[in-house]
Structure 1
Amino acid sequence: MSVASAGEFGLIARVTARLGSGATVLLGPGDDAAVVSAPDARVAASTDVLVEGRHFRRDWSSATDVGHRAAAANLADIAAMGAVPTALLVALCIPTDLEVRWAEELADGLGAEAALVGASVVGGDMSSSPTLTIAVTALGDLGGRAPVVRSGARPGDVVALAGRIGYAAAGYTVLSRGFRTPKLLVEAYRRPEVPYRAGPQAARLGATSMIDVSDGLLADLGHVASASEVGIDLRSGAFEIPAQMRDAAHALGIDPYAWVLGGGDDHALAATFPAQVALPDDWRVIGRVVDGTGLTVDGKPYKGSAGWDHFR
């Protein structure tokens, strides 16, 4: 059955029937707006969009995978502010010949990823479009803490990373070359493993700045350096390159550090901390904040790509 056959409201009924409601949802889908509790009295909010052919391909990823990716991209932004995600709003622009089953499985992925952090899909909108587009807005609760922003890094701070880096970029390259293995890398691209709990944890530890690595480690830390008016130097030896990534890089004639330093779809979290803070195992130190401007690797400018630019 196509979405045209199901009709707008039939499709909405099918999709919303697959979505649960978490503890923060006071009123879910079905009215003009949802109602979500905000105990902190402040709401962290972020939005992101995925366009078919630009951000995902249906022949590379299942609908459930795409749902996970769409939710993760937004939930990671909330975690990067030091907040706990509470709700998602999803707008779908879909071709009329899209199968209803695909939309239902997309909803499954969105709901399952949100459930990882206790959040829920609480509403959204649908429209027909020749290009399949998924726009997601995430809301979050700061829990009484100040948001961790990009402008707080200071010389002497350490730079630390939570989560995987380079895996999804490697998976994208593998898929773009027509391969489907190594599975570790391909699955990392299809469905990221985001260190959600590390965001609020970093806030409690006194992180001075934080960012979701969505466009590339160097590119995103460059935003921190610019906003904080500091320099950042990374240590290449701080990154562990798994055997599968190293082997794939060798087979494809690519420097694996291009994936690690320029890849971002893993949605790792990068943060700066005062040097005296004892970091838990979730975080590993990868560099330091220095006087000056810009990013360096092992004390030298990096000559490769810093990351993704949507308009380049």
Structure 2
Amino acid sequence: MGPDSSQDAQTISQVGEFGLINRVTSGRAQSPGTLLGPGDDAAVLAAPDGRVVATTDVLVEQVHFRFDWSTPHQVGRKAVAVNLSDIAAMGAVPTGLLVGLGCSPDLPTTVVDELAAGMWEEAQRVGISVVGGDMVSATSLTISVTALGDLQGREPVTRSGARPGDVVAVAGRLGWSAAGLAVLGRGFRSPVAVVGAHRVPEPPYEAGPQAAVAGATSMVDTSDGLLADLGHIAAASGVAVDVRTELVEVPQRLTEVASALGADARHWVLTGGEDQALVATFPQGRPLPEGWRPIGAVVEGEGVTVDGDAYAGPSGWEHWR
């Protein structure tokens, strides 16, 4: 937003709630689907399909992000990306964002400026805007993003539609964020590509609607890890899922990083979260959309297996564990 040097030195308490809102929203163009943007009691968005897909994620400083590992701009992008990937996982296209921010009164306004810049940048990747939100005082910096989406006349792709015989496929990167987290946890800041994958995920937004058009029977994003999120599909659908390791790519870069750290790159790929890849099931014999690659099959039974056996160790992230 280009605040001048006098603004840079200000804190949240000095500019106040409405001054802060103005810094976040002024000069920003609203997307065409926004009929009424920030500035009133609520925003108004067009809903061409007649249904609205909605999702919310909350990010808390020192739990989901650290400013000694990521810049505010990167945190802003990530806060939006994790929500937009959920919209894509329903087979929908994003239409708008609502942002809630809780922060200390003595937080520099430049931090909020950069958070907002990152949020707007990620939103513009899919052609949408921040249409409203709320800002409050809090002891820990907390970011809550609600993303809205449109199904474009299709039925939502839920977690409960997988059937035995379906092909399991994935779109996007796996294991990169976990590798980046491991690198940062050891006190390193490179390789840049790996660390960057943890700081800012790159969800395959277009792959969600493409999967829906191609007849995907179920879909989820890999926020918790491939095996953990496949477990959600298995439980909701009343089926079992078997992942075949010969089909799961382990990138050479991750293998190199794992070797340097004494870690297991395949474990990162199978269980690492926050890549925001999409995993879906498709009827057998139907061509997969471009960008999707098969990694296993849906079978009779329950739970998730790897090459027919239970996976040893945690399958992904769980809160409060």
1:18, distance to aligned residue in structure 2 (A)? 5.1
Q: Give 1:200's match in structure 2, choosing from 183, 197, 209.
A: 209
Identity of aligned residues (%): 60
Residues 153 and 224 of structure 1 are in contact (CA less than 8 Å); yes or no, is this contact kept in structure 2? yes
Structure 2 CA distance, aligned partners of 1:25 and 1:239?
A: 41
Q: Residue 190 of structure 2 aligns to which amino acid in structure 1?
A: T
- Aligned to 1:272, what secondary structure does the other structure show? strand
- Aligned to 2:148, what secondary structure does the other structure show? strand
TM-score of the aligned structures, taking structure 2 as reference length: 0.96
Residues 170 and 292 of structure 2 are in contact (CA less than 8 Å); yes or no, is this contact kept in structure 1? yes
**Equivalent position of 1:158 in the other structure:** 167
**Equivalent position of 1:242 in the other structure:** 251
Structure 2 CA distance, aligned partners of 1:186 and 1:239?
A: 21
Structure 2 CA distance, aligned partners of 1:98 and 1:58?
A: 13
Identify the range of structure 1 (55-64 vs 13-22) with the bigger mean alpha-carbon deviation.
Answer: 13-22
**Equivalent position of 2:33 in the other structure:** 24
- Aligned to 1:150, what secondary structure does the other structure show? coil
Structure 2 CA distance, aligned partners of 1:310 and 1:204?
A: 33
Q: Determine whether 1:12 maps to 2:21.
A: yes
- Structure 1 runs (4+) deviating above 3 angstroms are none
**Equivalent position of 1:254 in the other structure:** 263
The structure-2 alpha-carbon separation of the partners of 1:148 and 1:82, relative to structure 1 and needing over 3 Å to count, comes to same
Residues 211 and 289 of structure 2 are in contact (CA less than 8 Å); yes or no, is this contact kept in structure 1? no
1:97, distance to aligned residue in structure 2 (A)? 1.4
- Aligned to 1:152, what secondary structure does the other structure show? coil
Q: Residue 147 of structure 1 aligns to which amino acid in structure 2?
A: P
**Equivalent position of 2:140 in the other structure:** 131
- Aligned to 2:310, what secondary structure does the other structure show? coil
**Equivalent position of 2:197 in the other structure:** 188
**What CA deviation, in whole Å up to 9, does each residue of 1:203-259 have, x standing for no partner?**
000000000110111111000000000000001122222222111111111111221
- Aligned to 1:287, what secondary structure does the other structure show? strand
Q: Determine whether 1:81 maps to 2:108.
A: no
- Aligned to 2:87, what secondary structure does the other structure show? helix
Structure 2 CA distance, aligned partners of 1:164 and 1:99?
A: 34
The structure-2 alpha-carbon separation of the partners of 1:172 and 1:18, relative to structure 1 and needing over 3 Å to count, comes to farther
Identify the range of structure 1 (173-182 vs 12-21) with the bigger mean alpha-carbon deviation.
Answer: 12-21
Q: Give 1:226's match in structure 2, choosing from 235, 252, 256.
A: 235
- Aligned to 1:310, what secondary structure does the other structure show? coil
Q: Residue 149 of structure 2 aligns to which amino acid in structure 1?
A: G
**What CA deviation, in whole Å up to 9, does each residue of 1:131-171 have, x standing for no partner?**
00000101000000000000000000000000001001110
Q: Give 2:117's match in structure 1, choosing from 88, 94, 108.
A: 108
Q: How many residues are matched? A: 312
Structure 1 CA distance, aligned partners of 2:311 and 2:75?
A: 32
**Equivalent position of 2:7 in the other structure:** none
Structure 2 CA distance, aligned partners of 1:160 and 1:54?
A: 30
Residues 233 and 299 of structure 1 are in contact (CA less than 8 Å); yes or no, is this contact kept in structure 2? yes
Q: Give 1:268's match in structure 2, choosing from 277, 285, 296.
A: 277
Residues 3 and 11 of structure 1 are in contact (CA less than 8 Å); yes or no, is this contact kept in structure 2? yes
Q: State the superposition RMSD in angstroms.
A: 0.9
Structure 1 CA distance, aligned partners of 2:199 and 2:67?
A: 11
Structure 1 CA distance, aligned partners of 2:189 and 2:201?
A: 16
Structure 2 CA distance, aligned partners of 1:13 and 1:109?
A: 16
Structure 1 CA distance, aligned partners of 2:95 and 2:185?
A: 35
Identify the range of structure 1 (298-307 vs 233-242) with the bigger mean alpha-carbon deviation.
Answer: 233-242
Structure 2 CA distance, aligned partners of 1:35 and 1:116?
A: 21
Q: Residue 235 of structure 1 aligns to which amino acid in structure 2?
A: R
1:280, distance to aligned residue in structure 2 (A)? 2.9
**Equivalent position of 1:41 in the other structure:** 50
Structure 2 CA distance, aligned partners of 1:240 and 1:307?
A: 18
Q: Determine whether 1:167 maps to 2:176.
A: yes
Structure 2 CA distance, aligned partners of 1:192 and 1:119?
A: 18
Q: Structure 1: state its 5+ residue gaps.
A: none
TM-score of the aligned structures, taking structure 1 as reference length: 0.98
**Equivalent position of 2:4 in the other structure:** none
Structure 1 CA distance, aligned partners of 2:199 and 2:211?
A: 27
Structure 2 CA distance, aligned partners of 1:120 and 1:212?
A: 22
Q: Residue 161 of structure 1 aligns to which amino acid in structure 2?
A: V
